[in-house]
Structure 1
Amino acid sequence: MAYEWFVSLRYLRAKRKQTFISIISFISIAGVTLGVAALIVVLAVMTGFHDGVRQQILGNIPHVLIQRQGGGLSDYQQIIKQVRTSPHVTSVAPFVAKEAMLLSRRNVAAVNVKGIEPGHKILNQKFLSIDHKPVSELLFERNGKLPGIVIGLDTATSLGVAIGDSVNVIPPMFTITPFGMIPKMKPFRIVGIFRQGGGFLDTFYAYIDMAQAQSFFDSEGQVSGIEVEVDGFDQARPVAAQLRGEYHFPYVIRSWEDMFGSFLSALKLEKLGLFIVLGIIVLVAAFNIATTLIMVVMEKSKDIAILRSMGATSRSIMKIFLFEGLVIGVLGTGLGAALGVVLAKNADPIIKWLERTLGVKIFDQSVYGMDHFPSVVNSGDVITVVGVALTICLLATIYPAWQAARMDPAEALRYE
């Protein structure tokens, strides 16, 4: 071990007369620990809320949407086969969509009727269904008198209908008869109602079998578009960019950020603001490190003079106090990172335990529309916090170490 490390570690262990300085060192470590832990926990919670709110906003909106300018996709099977081989793509689903009016009991509601295939992600949520049967079976049942349709609770309330009732779907299409043009209309049976699809946009959707949609909307052999799901929200933009390189005009490829990214700009700004505010906590703890080292330099002035007279260079003296400050910073940052990750990963059980113990409601699931307290530990955030904390701690040690290095041995020993 280099003697600079030995001396710096020795200075951290206090003698009886230097207990106060040692206590300040431990307070500095505790300050860095709490600052780093708080920063990691808050960023994890903000990331969790960001993802939760993003899911609430988007709901049925696909990560990447592939459409064709001025018409439908007739070669969709080939596109689906090719897109499935792209990196980060988890599922690919075609759909047929058309704006339409739902008519029942003299009530009207405007919706976007979407024809989907079995296995669509919208079918993974909870539904009110006939005899509590799976909606995935009822919607694609071919033996019923009427084809099935799934609508939102708000739409059902507006129409005054319930499970098992029928509604007439009226798209903006007309049939020419001897008596003139008559609006196209077809009755459907309500086989499922979803309370909340995860997003406010889902209120305006109704779902039917894609085969029924192709026949009803005169789109045989075509689809309106292809929905692409990726393994993470953040992967949508690069996947969309890659697909744009493969499919040029008249294909139109958009990620969810292109369509609805402005909804989440405020959350990103808030996360950045919290990072800056809580980063000040680490900065305050770093000032404690600087104060500790200044006091150590004042206390050890005689030791520094003796080391200089024995041949130690200014560079070595500076290393001693840099190492001491670095030890405090690394210990505090390491402990804070470990504590922050543990708290962030167990935020939901901790919140529930506090609610049971204190008898108060900290997180109201009905308000936020989430079944658990959101907390997502992002490795990038943790690395950033650790890097910023270590940088601040290292910068805080420079001035005291520089002052110790430029100390004149003769002046320090004059009155000894």
Structure 2
Amino acid sequence: MGYEWFVSLRYLRAKRKQTFISVISFISIAGVTLGVASLIVVLAVMTGFHDGVRQQILGNVPHVLVQRQGGNIPSYQELVTELRQTTPEILEVTPYVAKEAMLLAKRNVAAVNVKGLPRGHKVFQQNFLSASGDEVEKALFTTQEGPPGLVIGLDTAATLGVTVGDTVNVIPPMFTITPFGLIPKMKPFRVVGIVSHRGGFLDTYFAYIPLPVAQNFFDAADQASGVEIEVASYDRATPLAAQLRDRFSFPLVVRSWEDLFGSFLSALKLEKLGLFIVLAIIVLVAAFNIATTLIMVVMEKHKDIAILRSMGATSLSIMKIFVLEGLIIGSLGTGLGTLLGVLLAKQADPIIKGLEGILKIKIFDQTVYGMDRFPSVVIPEDVVKVVLVAMTICLLATVYPAYRASRMDPGEALRYE
């Protein structure tokens, strides 16, 4: 760039009579810094909430679900074998049996979806409240005398007033024919674990029992309500579901997790986009400050511009001087804002907890959101987008002042000097 860089940097260093212009320059830098930092922090928090909600959902919902329209899947073992041989992307294929039921204990009632699962299901990787710290999966599948095991959610346990070791009666919408008429089918189960980590409506809604017990209890011998499929990445669930739809025809129905809860997650993405647009206005306001600063510099330096033009500087060189000055302000603000935003986003949880301790108020209620920490995930792509948007806005803010400076007539500027 040659001397244009030198002149641009020189104009940023105000003399005693030009302190006001320097103050506006610092305000412009601060505005861009705050705007960029706000954008990065908000996007990181929204991404954290999005991932947290998605993990809560995928902790109980399969990546891909195969069901049969109108009833259970007979001879499901053949379907399981065929699915496992479909593609290497499939990691797990798990049959299950599920039915709506009422839980009755201590004169309290709760409605749940009782789900029979085999050993090794991902649900059992969550944290549970159990007796004496025993492994819930081991206790659930232990064959011993007495009622079979049952795992329920923390909210369900509170509704029923039960804890680990108590007995709960499970009443499905099935009846037994007796000489005295129809009697609701009922079976006692022993609570061996309570889901205490995830929180949210999914853990409240489901209760888990061993698959063989569910098949026997719900009269579904050699049948399955559906088959759950796990893939290496949740992003591959939708393409896999489309592939399986082409392979398995009616009455089998194939749905991905996005088909089940995609609308909810799409709302979170839309909210993230909306916040990005709103907070980008902060950067736009700071860009107006940059334009104001450059206009004032052009007005203050009209004599310098005329002298440069008379010494042979071209219109393009004059334009470069003020474009570079605006980009320096924008670059400083964007760079500082990026560092501040990434730092705040990375330390969001300690900062929130520190503010809660100082102010003695609850800013982030973990029980409401079902998350053990304040969610904040910095995605490099989001940071790059913020930097590009900020620099583009700052660059556009320099166009008009730089153009006016380049069109200045040196003779007219020096006429009254």
What's the TM-score bracket when you normalise by the shorter of the two chains? 0.7 to 0.9
Give the Å deviation of 1:120. 2.2
Q: How far off is 1:30 after superposition? A: 1.9
Written as runs of structure 1 = structure 2, the 5 A alignment for 1:109-148 is 109-148=110-149
Residue 54 of structure 1: how far off its partner (Å): 4.9
For residues 199-248 of structure 1, what are the alpha-carbon distances to aligned partners after superposition, in whole Å with 9 as ceiling and x for unaligned?
Answer: 21332322111122233334444432233445666664445445445544
In 1, are the aligned partners of 2:118 and 2:210 still within 8 Å (CA)? yes
Match of 1:60 in 2: 60
Say yes or no: does 1:334 pair with 2:329: no
State how 1:299-310 maps to structure 2 within 5 Å.
299-310=300-311
The whole-number CA distance in structure 2 between the counterparts of 1:320 and 1:374 is 44
Q: CA separation in 1, counterparts of 2:65 and 2:7?
A: 63
Name the structure 1 match of 2:97.
96
**Could you say what secondary structure the match of 1:75 adopts?**
helix
Mean CA deviation greater in 399-408 or 351-360: 351-360
Distance 1:108 1:297, change over 3 A: closer
Q: CA 1:169–1:360 in 2, change beyond 3 Å: closer, same or farther?
A: closer
Question: Residue 77 of structure 1 aligns with which residue?
Answer: 80
Deviations 1:125-169 (A, max 9, x none): 333323331211100112343321112344445555443333443
The percentage of counterpart residues that share the same residue type is 72
Give the distance between the partners of 1:6 and 1:239, measured in 2 at CA.
58
**Number of the residue aligned with 2:49:** 49
8 Å CA contact 1:164–1:190 kept in 2: the answer is: yes
TM-score between both structures, scaled by the size of structure 1: 0.86
Q: Could you tell which deviates more after superposition, 225-234 or 110-119? A: 225-234
CA positional deviation for 1:118: 2.4
Counterpart in the other structure of 1:40: 40
- Tell me if the contact between 2:98 and 2:116 (Cα under 8 Å) persists in the aligned partners: yes
Cα deviation, 1:170-211, whole Å, max 9, x if unaligned, reads 444456678887655443322223357522133232211112
Instruction: Rate the CA distance shift 1:367–1:107 in 2: closer, same or farther, 3 A.
Output: closer
After superposition, the Cα gap between the structure-2 partners of 1:42 and 1:235, relative to the gap in structure 1 and judged at 3 Å, is: farther
Partner SS for 1:252: strand
Q: State the secondary structure of the residue aligned to 1:65.
A: strand
1:294 is displaced (CA, Å) by 0.9
Shift of 1:21: 2.7
CA contact (8 A) 1:84 1:91 kept: no
Once residues 140 and 188 of structure 2 are traced to their aligned partners in structure 1, the CA distance between those partners, rounded to angstroms, is: 14
- AA of the residue aligned to 1:409: P
Q: Distance in 2 between matches of 1:284 and 1:233?
A: 39
Partner of 2:204: 203
User: Does 1:4 pair with 2:7?
Assistant: no
1: distance between equivalents of 2:80 and 2:236? 23
What code does the residue aligned with 1:133 have?
Answer: D
The answer (yes or no) to whether the contact 1:171–1:184 under 8 Å persists in 2 is yes
Please tell me whether the aligned partners of residues 305 and 410 of structure 1 are also in contact (alpha carbons under 8 angstroms): yes
Q: Which residue of 2 aligns with 1:152?
A: 153
Give deviations 1:7-59, integer Å, cap 9, x for gaps: 32333334444444333323212211111001111222222233334555676
Q: Do structure 1's residue 13 and structure 2's residue 16 form an aligned pair?
A: no
Cα distance change of structure 1 residues 173 and 360 upon mapping to structure 2, 3 Å threshold: closer
Given that residues 9 and 325 in structure 2 are in contact (C-alpha distance below 8 angstroms), is that contact kept between their aligned partners in structure 1? yes
Instruction: Give secondary structure in 2 for the equivalent of 1:402.
Output: helix
Deviates more, 1:34-43 or 1:59-68: 59-68
- 1:204-283 equivalences under 5 Å are 204-229=205-230, 236-264=237-265, 266-283=267-284
Aligned equivalents of 1:249 and 1:285: distance in 2? Answer: 58
In structure 2, what residue type is equivalent to 1:381?
D
1:348–1:305 CA distance, 2 compared to 1 (3 A): same
Unaligned runs of 5+ in 1: none
Q: In 2, are the aligned partners of 1:43 and 1:275 still within 8 Å (CA)?
A: yes
CA contact (8 A) 2:84 2:92 kept: no
Relative to structure 2, which stretch is displaced further, 346-355 or 125-134?
125-134
Matched letter for residue 191 of structure 1:
V
Aligned length: 414
Contact 1:57-1:199 at 8 Å conserved across structures: no
Partner residue of 1:287? Answer: 288
SS at match of 2:396: helix
375-384 or 2-11, larger mean C-alpha shift: 2-11
| CA distance 1:333–1:81, shift in 2 (3 Å) | same
Kept after mapping to 2: 8 A contact 1:57/1:200:
no
